[in-house]
Every structure is written in C-alpha cells, then in structure tokens.
Chain A
Amino acid sequence: MSSSDSPVRDEPAAAATEDPDATGADLVIPGQERDSWLRRLTDSTALIFIALLALVTVFAVLAPGAFPSVPNIRNIFIAAASLLVISVGMTFVIISAGIDLSVGSVLVFSSVVAVKAMTAVGNEGWGVSLIGIGVALLAGLLWGLINGFLIAKAGIPPLIVTLGTLGAALGFAQIITGGINLRGVPPQLTQVLGYGRIFGIPWLVVVAAFVTAWGIIALRFTRFGRYTYAVGSNPEAARRAGINVDRHLLKIYAIVGLLSGLAGVMSLARFSNTNIAGHTTDNLQSIAAVVIGGTSLFGGIGTVFGTVVGVFIPTVLQNGFVILRVQPFWQEVAVGVVLIAAVYVDQLKRRARERL
C-alpha cells in the first residue's frame, strides 16, 4: 500500500541493478526505500566524484611540480569558493524543479549597496565591515524574496521571473553607481576575509565550507530538505500531503538570494571593487555545476556533495589547462563536453528508472 503511494522516481530499482550486491528483494520492501534512495543518489554522485579524482590525478601526473603544490591547491579552493556558495543555494532551487538566473546580478547589486553603506559610515574598521556584510545579505535576501513571491504566489515560471530580476537587479546597480565601479572597502574586510587565513586555510574557503556543510545537513537530514525533494518531485502531491509549497518555495529562493549576497561580500573582500561588468555568467556556471553534480533539471533529485564536485570540475579543468599551457579555447570545449556528458548520464539513469 505504501509503495503505491510513492512517486515513480523513488523506485529503488535503478540502484538495485547498478549495485551488484542488491537483490530483487530491494524492490518491494517499503521500509528499505529510503536506504536504496540514498544509495542511488550516492551512485550518481560517486561517478562524477571519480571523474574529478581522475582529472586531478591526470593533472598531477602531467604537471607534478606545479599542480599538486600547496599554493596552487589553495588557489583552486579560493577560485571555487564564491561559485560554491551560490551553487549550494542553486542546488535547493533546482531540486525544487525551479531555476534562478538572477544570481550574478543580485551579487553585483548586493556588493554595490554594501559599498555605498560602508562608504557612508567611514569605510574603515570592523563595525563598518559588519554593516556592509549585513547590508549585502539583506539586499540578497530581498531579491530572493521578490523572486520567491512572484514564483510561488503569482505563479509565474521561475525562468521568466529570475530572467526579469536578472535585468532589474543589474539595472538598479547601474543606476545607483552610474555604471561606474565603486572602489574601496575597509582594509579589515580585504585583509581578513579577502586574504587572511586561519590555520593556513583562507577565510573565503572557510566561509564556503560552512555554507556547504549547512547545505549538506539541511538537504539530507532536515524536514526542510525532504520537503524540497518532495516539492521538486511532485508539487501537487506535496501540497496534498500537507506541505505549504508556496511558503517553501519562498524560503528556497530567499536562501539563494541570501547566498548571492554573501558571494557579493566575498567578491568585495577579494577584489575591493564592485565589478559591475562581471558576473554575467555566474548563473550559468552555477547551474552547470549543480547539473554536473548529478542534480536533475527536472527536480526531485540531487545532492549538495554532487554540487561541490560539480563546482570543482570546471575550476580544476581551467587551472590544470592553464598550467599545462593548453590553448585557452580548448578549456571551454572541455567544460562543455563534461557538462553534456553529465547530463547525458543523468538522462540514461532517468530513462532506466522509468522503464521499470
């Protein structure tokens, strides 16, 4: 009775056939559904994790003095940190079968208002820095709530809403600044968050690690995470099961907005300017990272750990290719190939699941 209630996607059959230790008995025992469900997720992310390990090994072998060196590893992590923070939020969004194209613009807007606020109160000292951080987070949260409200309450498709806020947020940022980059943040922010380390680990990486840890725990062990999967799998069933889908979507988009604001702070700390003209491909990069990590664009499936791997694959690719002095355009080709391969693998698994 309980097995007929669960959506088709939760069929553990796919995991059973890939896992040579599984038996046909896994198919019908309701109590073991969750175990096999987790195992199936682990399978798809395990594959891509192995791909990342292979990539790292190949580069370490081809450039033994350069690639595996401590400064280079540290730089890879720093380069990945900002994108990872956004992509953790994007994971929740895509699992809920939505999408958020506005992340780059919200990042820019948040950094602009943060610099304006900090400059207005002296641009010096920790108090001012904290004000700037708070303003950036608030700005990101606000845009996230706007997105969430329009998607959940007004019922407009996420692609359209976030396409609109992508333009609006960037437009407001340009209005506020007159199109000219704002420079100058409190030295405390750049020296500690931007370039400082704790126990040898850059603060930027620590922040990203905390966000990732929160994401993993929230998605896997909390009701919030389970509701996210449910809403992404089958919103109508979730609604009828008693989940307030509208409020949940609002929360999800608010979170990714907040994280975009945080990424704005990280960018300010590192580069000391608002970089209005940049961040145009942040949205596509984070979507690609989430998808490469095994999350399905159709919703209901995905993990934050997969996203971590998905963020590192293009970062490692670029870093390794530059070290090996490969022509820059090949790097773009390679990332494209990996993305398509990852989506193809996901499609094969979905078709396999649905066949049963």
Chain B
Amino acid sequence: MSQLTLKRTSGMRPVVMAALLALLLTACGGGGGDAAESEAASGGASEAAGGSEAAGGGGDYDIVLIPGVIGDEFYVSMECGARAAADEAGASLDVQGADTFDPTAQTPVLEAVIASQPDAILIAPTDRTAMQAPIQQAVDAGITVALVDTTLEDPSVAVAAVASDNVEGGRMAGDALAELMNEEGAALVINVNPGISTTDQRQEGFEEAIAQYENIEYLGTEFSNNEPAQAAQIVDATLSANPGLNGIFGTNLFSAEGAATGVRNAGPEGEDISIVGFDAGPAQVDQLESGQVQALIAQKPEEIGTQGVEQAIAALNGEEPEAEITTGFEVITQDNLEEPEMQEALYKSQC
C-alpha cells in the first residue's frame, strides 16, 4: 500500500506544478515578447497608482488599442497605422481585445486595460449604448480615450472620434452598385446588426443613393450577425423569393464575403448578380479578382489608426486635439486593382 501511496502523490504533483509553470511561463513569455513594453506597463502601473499622469513633453506614452474584434484585417490594418504613429512619437502600443464582436466580451477586456493604467486608450466600441458606461469608467480613471471606427451615443467623453464618413461610403456603394446593375433591377442590403454605428450609417447612405434610381427596386436590409454563413443563406432565400435580384451591397467584410458565397451557391441563377462590398480584406480581394464581387469600397483603417494615436498624444501633450476626423474611401474594381494606390489601400493581415 505504501508503494501505491508513492505512485499516486508523485503522479499528481508534477502535473499541477507543470500546469502552474506553464501558466507562469506563458505570462512571462508573452509579456517578454515585448519585454520593454510589459516592464513599462507594470512600472507605469505602480507609478500611476499614485494618481499622477505621465508628464507632458511627448513620447514615452503607454497606449492601448482595443479593436472591435481580434483577428479582423480591418483592425489589423488599423493597428499597423497606429503602431507607425506611436513609433514615430516614441510611444508604446499594445493591442488587447476579445475574439467576438460583443460588448459582453469587450467590457472585461476594457476594464482590465483600465486597471493597467495606460496613458491613453484607442477603442472601437462594439455597441453605441452598452459601451458608454464602461468607457466612462476609463475617462473617470484619468485615461485619455479616443474612439476609432465605431462611436458612442455620446462621444463627447472621448478627446477625439476618428472614423470613415460611413454615410458617404454607403452613398458611394449605392452609386457603384447602380452603375453595375445598369440602373435597373432589384437591390438587397446585407447588414451586420443594428446598433453598430458604422454599418447603420452605410445602410443609410446606400438607401439615400439608391432611392435616386427609379428603375431599381430596393428589397430592404437583412442582418447577418457578422456571420458569412448567415449572409449566404440570406442571399439564397432572397433569390428564391425575388428571382429579379441583381444587386447586393454587403456592409462589411463578413457580410460581403458571405454574399459572394451565397451567389456562388446559386449557380446559374446568380450569374447576373453584382455585388459591392465594403472593406478590402484578403478574402474579398480574392473574390474581386475572381469576379465574384465587382467592387469594393475600401476604408482607410491605417489612417484611422494613425490619426487616433496622433490625436491622443496631442491631448496628452496638453494640445487641443481635433475632436472629429473623417477619413475617406477608395473604390476598388477589377480594373484598377493593380494600381499602386489601390494596392496600398488593401487591408493587411499582419503589420
């Protein structure tokens, strides 16, 4: 029996120790990957705990970018732009986010970032009302907040809000699609979820533009929940109900991606359907090249990131930031895809 005793205890303790060690190494290793940054974070944390903010004079600021979701090329491009601006100013940039576009997931991340006491937070709120209170918490904690891409019900809590003029982008999409449809037929919008400021504005702009074309019937908007599979199903269902469907506007990356899949699934019936997508991620560029999608309205996420960082640093330096900045678009088609300007506008999957 004493031998069994030895076996049992020796079996478990190493496992538990190994697990704890793995966690410890992960914590140090992950932080050690940007060793200077994590040291600055903990050092800055203990200093800032006293309630003092980092002194002005530019540089050495600790900035955290919280995107809407991790792993989305739009936000990765934004990170690239933000990082470039931060490097130039001598500030450090960290990215923390949730893996779903969900205020329930973004809030704990935001709260933990607040606890780490950065100098500034760049955040893309995942819901214009649900994120108002958590972001207010950041401002109350003395952190400078800049809104990037999406905005809040009351954006005045932030020093700056940088976004594309999504209404204008929607208008451009409407005109581009109408042209592809030869200004007649039936058009459908596949949106994400109501309550997301950016995509709501794109829908608004599109509806404004498409109303101008008398021979185009507007079939309305369906919501894909940011799931390409759902977008594909919506296309199939709409096509069955409305065989005259010949134009689709996908208001974001996943909606456009899913729409193209749905059209492809429809086979011969889908051949005359034109699709205009928003955002120019690698998957969409592939779809553009293969002809499944006819035009992409590309935002300038890198510029959004750069401007966000610049305005935050300006505010930290005691200067007056620009409260509202809108960035523009490029319309990318198969014809102009190879031009260097257009290549620049494509979204990156890593910096």
Contact = CB atoms under 8 A, between A and B. Distances in A.
A65 B34 contact: no
A17 B9 CA distance: 9
Q: Is the interface of A mostly helix, strand, loop or mixed?
A: helix
A41 interface: no
B23 A322 contact: no
A67 interface: yes
B16 interface: yes
Nearest to B140: A71
Interface stretch (A135-143, A238-246, A344-352): A344-352
A271 B106 CA distance: 11
Residue among B64, B114, B115 with max Cβ neighbours from chain A (10 Å): B115
B241 interface: no
Contact of B133 (A65, A72, A195, A349): A195
Interface core residue of A334, A338, A355 (most chain B CB under 10 Å): A334
A341 B22 CA distance: 11
Nearest to B64: A325
B111 interface: yes
A72 B141 CA distance: 12
Interface residues of B, number: 66
A69 interface: yes
A275 B102 contact: yes
A352 B18 CA distance: 20
Contacts of B265: none
Contact of A75 (B28, B102, B108): B108
A280 to B, nearest CB: 8
Interface residues of A, number: 64
Contact of B194 (A65, A75, A180, A341): A180
Contacts, number: 189
Contacts of B55: none
A18 interface: yes
B14 to A, nearest CB: 11
Interface string A153-167: 000000000000000
Contacts of A338: 19, 23
Given A66-B117, A348-B12, A355-B4, A278 B130 contact: no
Interface string A320-345: 11111111111011100110010011
Interface in B83-138: 94-100, 102-105, 107-109, 111-117, 127, 129-130, 133
Given A272-B130, A322-B116, A65 B47 contact: yes
B116 A17 contact: no
B42 A278 contact: no
Interface stretch (A3-11, A47-55, A216-224, A295-303): A47-55
Contacts of A271: 103-104, 107, 127, 130
Contact of A322 (B28, B109, B129): B109
Contacts of A329: 70
B130 A273 contact: yes
A319 B11 CA distance: 31
Nearest to A342: B19
A327 B12 contact: no
A127 interface: no
A31 interface: no
A181 B48 contact: no
A64 B45 contact: yes
B18 A79 contact: no
B58 interface: no
A308 to B, nearest CB: 18
A63 interface: yes
Nearest to A24: B1
Contacts of A181: 193-195
B116 A323 contact: yes
Contacts of A14: 8
A325 B38 contact: yes
B115 A345 contact: no
Given A75-B108, A195-B133, A325 B19 contact: no
A58 interface: yes
B105 to A, nearest CB: 7
Given A75-B108, A330-B26, A338-B19, A272 B49 contact: no
B15 to A, nearest CB: 6
A66 B195 contact: no
A286 interface: no
A123 interface: no
30 contacts: A17-B8, A51-B16, A51-B20, A55-B23, A58-B24, A62-B28, A65-B45, A66-B49, A75-B112, A273-B103, A273-B129, A275-B130, A277-B193, A278-B102, A278-B103, A278-B105, A321-B27, A322-B112, A323-B41, A324-B30, A324-B41, A325-B41, A325-B64, A325-B96, A326-B38, A328-B99, A333-B26, A337-B23, A341-B15, A341-B18
Given A183-B129, A280-B100, 7 more contacts: A58-B27, A65-B45, A179-B223, A320-B112, A324-B31, A330-B26, A348-B12
Of all A-B residue pairs in the complex, the 7 with the closest CB atoms, nearest first, are A65-B49, A326-B30, A341-B19, A322-B112, A72-B115, A65-B46, A65-B45
Interface of A: 14, 17-18, 24, 47, 51, 54-55, 58-59, 62-67, 69, 71-72, 75, 79, 179-181, 183, 195, 267, 271-273, 275-280, 315, 317-330, 332-334, 337-338, 341, 344-345, 348-349, 352, 355-356
